[in-house]
Amino acid sequence: MALEAKKTLIMRIYQILDEYSDDEHPLTQQNIIDILERDYDIPCERKAVGRNVSYLKEMGFDIESTANGTYLASRKLENAELRLLIDSVLSSRNVNSIHSEQLINKLIALGGRNFKSHVKHVYSVKDWDKSDNKAFFYNIDVIDEAIEQGKKISFNYNKIGLDKKLHVSKPHVGSPYQMLLHNQRYYLMMFDEMFDEVGFYRMDKITDIKVLDDDAKPLRENVGFEKGIDYKRIATSLPYMYNDAPVAITLKCWIGMADTLYDWFGTNFTAKKLDDKYFVATIVASEKAMLYWVLQYNRNVEVLSPLSLRENVVAKLKKTLALYEND
């Protein structure tokens, strides 16, 4: 055996076990010898295979040997964990189809060759509803750099046109603070100099982003953020990413809405049963966001307070009704 082959033999044997073996597909010593010669042009004897497998076990690798052969018993990510990550990439509307496929192929490789046959659904990645913004990952890198350096950023914020493509709406300059995943969308949390307030911006609608030389405005100088970011409040009081201060909202709900409230707000609401059909819930949430949330569940939810939200719901419903009464 050549000197270079001897040096790399133990690494190649581990790579072979990682790529080709699992508890359902153990490899015999002869299997390993054949793959070494075929894939790496390394001739090897059975004794050398057995010796190096023993070394790998002594080094702490979870390798099992049975009468049927040897296999890697555990990996950094188990198959169920890989499937969960792959499904997350598939269902993410932020990542375009090209990047989704690249990410999924990397995840599949972590599971070895035998794992690939169990994830046939990944080949339908182009059929999923995906963003067309190819700058998504670049945006993440640039924003992360700006946050680390404490610098402002500038970017174009886009809207989707009738052609289903991104079109520049307005340029923005501001101080970035955090990137957040909410309702399956990735948002940038930023102080916007145009509006003089902290707002949330869809990452998949951002293009032409740049880090500026100007220092960012410190987060704690913004009203409502004197103590930093309240992640629990963002997760449970902003069903949609509006930036108005949360207020107490009281709703009369159909009894079957308890499950829906939990899905949206977790345990951050109180509920008092009225009778077998209804209960009263109190939630601290964005009034702007709750206007659209209530309209979504209008048959099963009635706003009791605040009066301003109740009046806005009535006004929206009247405008909607007028669209159909004009026929």
* pTM of the predicted protein model: 0.56
**Residue 19 or residue 317, greater confidence:** 317
pLDDT, one tens digit per residue, over 263-309 is 788 788 899 999 999 999 999 988 998 999 999 998 999 999 999 99
The mean per-residue pLDDT over the stretch 200-219 comes to 93
- The CATH number for 159's domain is 2.30.30
Mean pLDDT of the chain: 84
Same-domain pairing of 254 and 321: yes
Domain that holds residue 166: 136-229
Q: Under a CB-based contact definition with an 8 Å cutoff, are residues 33 and 49 in contact? A: yes
Q: Under a CB-based contact definition with an 8 Å cutoff, are residues 309 and 249 in contact? A: yes
Dihedral (C-alpha) 48, 49, 50, 55: value to the nearest 10 degrees?
A: 90
pLDDT, one tens digit per residue, over 235-269 is 766 777 787 888 999 999 999 898 888 878 878 88
- The CATH number for 33's domain is 1.10.10.10
Q: What's the total number of domains in the chain? A: 4
Query: Which residue, 90, 107, 127, sits at the end of a domain?
Result: 127
Say what percent of the chain tops pLDDT 90.
Answer: 39
Q: What are phi and psi of 176, to 5 degrees?
A: -80, 145
Which residue, among 291, 295, 287, has the nearest Cα to 248 in the 3D structure?
287
- CA-to-CA separations, 51 to 10, 122, 198, in angstroms, rounded: 9, 39, 62
Q: Is 280 helix (H, G, I), strand (E, B) or coil?
A: strand
pLDDT, one tens digit per residue, over 97-144 is 777 778 877 887 777 777 766 665 544 545 555 566 678 878 888 998
Angle (deg, nearest 10), helices 307-325 and 287-296: 40
Same-domain pairing of 167 and 224: yes
Domain contains 239: no
